[in-house]
Amino acid sequence: MRRVDLMRRPASLLGIAAAVLVPLVVTTGMSSYWIYLTTSATVTAMLCLSVGVVFGRAGMAALCPMAFAAIGALTTALANHWGIALPFPVLLVVSGLVALPVGIAIGLPALRLRGLNLAIVTLGFAVAVDVVTNSVGFPGAQTLDVVPRPDWATEDADYFLLCWVVFVGASAALSWYGTRRGGAAWLAVRSSERATAATGLAVPRVKLTAFAVSAFLAGVAGSLLAGQLGQLNATGFGSLQSLTIFTLAVMVGARHPEGAALGGMLAAFLPEVLRQVGLPQDLAAVVFAVGAVIGLRTGAGGAAADLRAAGRRLLGQRARPAGATGAKAPGPALGTVTPGPKPAGSDIPAALDARNLRVGYGAVTALDDVSIEVRRGELHALIGPNGAGKSTFVDVVSGFVRSATGTVTVAGRVSIDGQDHTSAPVHVRARAGLRRTFQHERTIGDLTVAGYLRLVAPTATPAEADTLLDQFGCPAGDVLLSTVDVGRRRLVEVAGAVLSRPSILLLDEPAAGLDAAESQRLGRLLAALPAAYGFGVLLIEHDVEMVATISDRVTVLDFGRVIASGPAAQVLRDPVVLAAYVGEEVPA
């Protein structure tokens, strides 16, 4: 798939330039006081970067960055107090590693809690650490022990360079990881946990990874802060400071390195500017809070996202001719692949075998003894009026409804390629070969088309991805999905599911949002998919004309029961189906 990103190369050049020029300016043209403030800005930028991982990327409100920093600072102070001589870079890593398992432990509630509830839990942890550090204090605080800097960084300018190198290194590592499947998985979890699980990713693992990386970065920042201050005071790691860092990170969009750097600069320099103009320094916290509220309301991802969007628009206008949208011209239907004759009957292995499925929600029966088999190389349509149970069936088969909880009752058996997966979670079924799309498209706007395909189909080659994008008439690989209309995002979603090479593909109203011409073209593509790729397709679609044209078999649901199943032409002429689905009366 094409990895040309119009924004990436200029952004990389600007990042490299900043990484080189900033230390030159700081170490040659600033007084010791301003170097100290710039060092504070760099350490704060590391803390913002940690918030940018867990909140900006993974979408989980963790209000305890300074608590993790306190653990890192405590580790550094204990090493000094106990006389453990470690090279300072090693001590930084050790401090981060000590904070890491604590981050995982604090992240465990995120597997069950979201939003405000998770924020309260993490703020409670920050308060607890605040109370403990104020009660016990840091090692050596009573005896005025000083945490030494490394011999080669005792001067403020040299120590700033150390902090800057650590920040640039962490930013580069996160930027690189963001291009891998694991980094994209954080964005996927923030966008939709259901869609993430449907790609074969374990959502709990993705969440805990985000907490672990965030805690590690904050722990390293705490160790850097210990070296900068020399003597540690518990008041510098309080819960109020955690809230300030969080609001600042939200305002600037700290998931991006430039946003984190901007946050560090504001935290260090804005209070000083306010002091010099005779205003209370506490006004800085008010500015951060207001900025965070604006950022959350607009959903723009902070100041860094706004800057990137402006740069993307500017570069897009220069790079593309007027009126270009980044969409590819429709390619031939599956290229050179020509559907061959299909074997009949039992010669076709079953990709999906759902038997006697029953689902009840209290007194309401959503599915009543529904059995559907989809064979490899076959397109099987599932139709019925609204409320017939189609979506419930897909949710049961894909694993989103799989066990009885509370008033929900579930029974039946689901097999994928002959293997029983009735009790398997969603991501296990996806790895076994079951992939699905959703009634409302769930692509990830923060990813490019190519990045999304790498997430949902990690084993696909770039050539395969490019070919499929051409065949489906999708936008080019370097186009950001948030700039693409809903209809074409749905095409990208279907293309990604096909590219994952499943055994059974569940398509939930894939033509929604497409115009008539696009819908017809998609229908032709879907008709060729089973024979071309050898998997089975279960299609939910309200377009009866499309269903009649492309389906091999059709199953009709009404009030949670199968009222007809068989060859498409036969089923769609069934008087019972006409009565239930079209509204015609059954002849006496």
User: Measured in Å, how far apart are the chain's first and last C-alpha atoms?
Assistant: 59
The answer to whether residue 443 scores a pLDDT higher than 70 is: yes
Average pLDDT over residues 493-519: 87
pLDDT of residue 205: 95
pLDDT-derived band of residue 186, with 50, 70 and 90 as boundaries?
very high
Domain ranges of the chain: 32-305, 345-433+502-582
pLDDT of residue 573: 85
Average pLDDT over residues 40-67: 94
Percent of the chain with pLDDT over 70: 86
- What topology does CATH give the domain 32-305? ABC transporter involved in vitamin B12 uptake, BtuC (1.10.3470)
Average pLDDT over residues 314-324: 47
The answer to whether residue 588 scores a pLDDT higher than 80 is: no
pLDDT of residue 319: 41
* CB burial string 456-477: b at 16+ within 10 A, e below: bbeebeeebbbbbbbbbbbbbb
* Identical topology for domains 32-305 and 345-433+502-582: no
Q: Please, which residues have CB within 8 angstroms of residue 580's CB and are 6 or more apart in sequence?
A: 384, 385, 556, 558, 563
The answer to whether residue 587 scores a pLDDT higher than 70 is: no
Average pLDDT over residues 233-256: 89
| CA-to-CA separations, 504 to 20, 256, 351, 435, in angstroms, rounded | 52, 38, 6, 7
pLDDT of residue 206: 95
Q: Where are the beta strands (DSSP E) in 302-420?
A: 350-361, 364-375, 379-383, 408-416, 419-420
pLDDT of residue 190: 92
Average pLDDT over residues 135-157: 82
The single-letter DSSP state of residue 585 is P
pLDDT of residue 1: 44
The residue that leads in pLDDT, 568 or 66, is: 66
pLDDT tens sequence across 344-391 = 455 567 899 999 999 988 888 889 999 999 999 999 999 988 888 898
Q: How many CB atoms sit inside 10 A of residue 578's CB?
A: 16
Based on the number of CB atoms within 10 Å of its own CB, is 213 exposed (0-12), middle (13-18) or buried (19 or more)?
buried
pLDDT tens sequence across 191-230 = 999 999 999 999 999 999 999 999 999 999 999 999 998 8
Contact of 390 with 558, CB cutoff 8 Å: no
**Consecutive H or E run containing 564:** strand 561-567
pLDDT of residue 371: 93
Average pLDDT over residues 449-461: 90
- What topology does CATH give the domain 345-433+502-582? Rossmann fold (3.40.50)
